[in-house]
Amino acid sequence: MSIPSFSFQLRHVAAGSQGRLGVFTTPHGPVETPAFMPVGTQGTVKGVDPGRLRETGAQMILANTYHLTLRPGEQTVAALGGLHEFMGWDGPILTDSGGFQVFSLAERMAIDEQGVRFKSHIDGSAVELTPERSVAIQEQLGSDVAMVLDHVVALPNTREVIADAMRRSVRWAARCQAAATRRDQAQFGIVQGGLDAELRAECTEELVKLNFVGYAIGGLSVGEQPAEMYAALDVSAPLLPRDKPRYLMGVGRPIDLLEAIARGVDLFDCVMPTRNGRNALAFTDAGLIRLRNQQYALDREPLDPSCPCMACRHSRGYLRHLFQAGEMLGPMLVSIHNITYYQRLLTEARAAIVEDRFMAFLAERRRGWDM
């Protein structure tokens, strides 16, 4: 399905790797890739208002179909102007289809060819999510990019289970495409297949036939080892169209982002920056700083002297005090720092790609993180 409002321009591939510099154009503006999308599951990036979020360097954010249909409901979001106006964010937004949340959160889930039936984790009410329903919800939310509904399974698992879920995901993707009515909303297909190279290849081949605007690599970061995830990327990424954006879903360790960029991935999302921020864990080039540790009680240094974020205007000792005192400012500041760190990391990655030194950049960061 061709959508005039969307385009992807591949500008450079780094020598010695598959690292790609590109621009993904959407109705709400361009996104320079590779890019990291902070997660605003319920219409908000936890603890960070839209103005502060812009200051971190974030270009595009993610919200979630499952959570927003349960509360406040897509009709409410639509009545309040759609997701952009509802949450006060004027940049691009991607909505997940809800498939992973059904897999991870829903109680008493039942899946068949029609869709998924489950009980809400909020009030236990019965909910049905089909490919057509997922598309309808996302169209009312009004995101720029809507993910197709897929069938996610835990890893490790049997080949039979993984193959069945993968092939159902392909059939559901075709139904999502057929149900779409908004020309100002792109759909991304989702490659499944677990850690099985043949199944990943089969899924990719079938989804490419459907000619989506972009493609996600899903079903990873669900229990496998990093090396296994990298191997799955080695199989999946080269089979995806060169001229379309590639999105690795739900993967967020800094080292994993860079390893995936080296393998040709363009877009990422994860709750890790904000979840760690709420738990007094700050990302730096030297690794995690655990602010609850006593060693930081009298530390006058900022988290990172080179970081421009609001948190780095304060000492580590002050930030630690905020957590020890149960003050809400602590989680807010460290979340802002972590998102800023991710955005700076991806900005540096883009510069390294265009200068053909990405693999050296990856090696340098790996040493700093002691990995």
Active site residues: 96, 269
CB 113 within 8 A of CB 131: no
Judge whether 153 and 103 are in contact, CB under 8 Å: yes
Secondary structure class of 94 (helix, strand, coil): strand
The H or E element spanning position 135 is helix 131-141
How would you list the strands of the sheet with 7-13, edge to edge? 7-13, 20-26, 29-33
**Cα atoms in the 13 Å half-sphere on the side-chain side of 235:** 22
Going by their DSSP bridges, the two strands 281-282 and 7-13 should be labelled as: unpaired
Asked if 358 and 349 touch (Cβ cutoff 8 Å), the reply is yes
Contact 78, 57 (CB under 8 A): no
Residue corresponding to tokens 């057509």: 132
The widest CA-to-CA distance across the chain, in whole angstroms, is 60
Cα distance between residue 346 and residue 336, in whole Å? 16
CA distances (Å), origin 112, targets 98, 117, 159, 212, 239: 16, 9, 18, 24, 29
Residue among 370, 361, 355 nearest 259 (CA): 361
CA 322 to chain centre: 29
Q: Measure the CA–CA gap between 256 and 262, rounded to whole angstroms.
A: 10
